[in-house]
Amino acid sequence: MFKFFNNKNNGIIIYVILLMLLTFSVRANNNVILTTIPLISKYYLNFNSIEIGILAAVAVGSTAVMSALINSRLCPGKRRKLFISSIIIYSILEPLFYFSNTYSIWLFVILSGFFFGSVMPNIMSSAGTIRDKKIRERTLTLYTLSLSASLVVGPLIESYILEYFNFYQLFLFFIPFGVIAVVLSFKIRFPEENKNKTKKKINVFRNPGFKLSVFNNISYDVPFALILTFGGIFARTEFNAPYSFVELLLAGFFGLSFLSRFFLSYRPTKKLYKTTTVSIIITVAGLIMIYFSSSLIIYFIIICFLGIPHGLTFPTSLTALSRSFKEDEISVANTYFYALMMFLAVVVPSVSGLMVYSVGLRYTFLLFALPVIILFILILYEYKKMPEINN
């Protein structure tokens, strides 16, 4: 299956392209669900902000259950079988959202989120199996670049489709991406298990690089979850934006994210703390500016502006992880990292839904700047404890 790896140079290039295509396909499909479900819930099913927040939390919560409690405990062979099966089932589930109603939407969200939980951490781990440090870090950045590309192209396609069709019909147009993902899933390489070695316990949570990666990623996962769940609703409620423009809003956001990751793929960062500092300053400023936004155009510019830290933060976190663990440890570290991000993402939509219900959309965006500032202090403390991670 992997004969092309006999040729070192061509093999790596082909495999990176394969990873990028697979990542693009599965993330484009997943993004349709995550961005469309809040809007369907609000404007088709008449859910309130608390119900919308809980629905978004359930989606990522079921993902975390699969990633942390099942995927992380399997050996590479079984993990590969689970990975392929999950992509097949996920690709079947997504078109079923066309038939969703007030009750079935909960079931579809839970099941799709659950099976998606074994997809991204395994792609991420596969991207980190390349032994050469420089090539590995470039591959990880290209992996995040393909994520951003899917999040730009996907909403643009959605925006065009919504000019002629409704949200329910939208899911049917993304079936080809599911087919591509299923075909490519059989080509993914998993870390080899060394049977001659005694299995050692990996203290992932005690590793300072893991803590740093987690704090760094949370600093943007908090506002990102808010934008993903309520960003489109804000545009619709505050400025009466059409549905097609809501998708363009997300395309602009992910467009700046894409450009940021493209820059990192061209010039990988060595001093990670510099990238982190820039990201958090932009994040805090953007959240405050949303509170004062007075028109749809201004809001659009601010949301695009916030795409920059979205593009910088995730690859920085992955680079910190790759510098902190050995090759035989990185798969477990990535799985726990992804699962922890998912568990934390359960909290944010729930809390944000309650806050929107209590204080309104504008004040919710403003108040979310506070935890980001607190996290920045924790991140700087972790960087001081391990300066070697910046080399």
DSSP string, 110-127: HHHHHHHTTTHHHHHHHH
- Name the CATH superfamily housing domain 3-189+204-390: MFS general substrate transporter like domains (1.20.1250.20)
The more confident residue out of 193 and 301 is 301
pLDDT digits (tens, 9 = 90+) for 232-268: 999 999 999 998 888 899 899 989 988 887 887 777 7
The more confident residue out of 319 and 198 is 319
Alpha-carbon distances of 360 from 38, 267, 351, 363, 384, rounded to whole Å: 16, 41, 12, 6, 38
Q: Which helix (H) or strand (E) holds 65?
A: helix 49-65
pLDDT digits (tens, 9 = 90+) for 180-191: 999 999 988 776
Give the rounded distance of the alpha carbon of 235 from its chain centre. 22
Q: Quick one: which of 127, 107, 105 has its CA closest to 42?
A: 105
Min mean pLDDT across 119-123, 140-144, 235-239, 327-331 is at: 327-331
What does the domain layout of the chain look like in residue ranges? 3-189+204-390
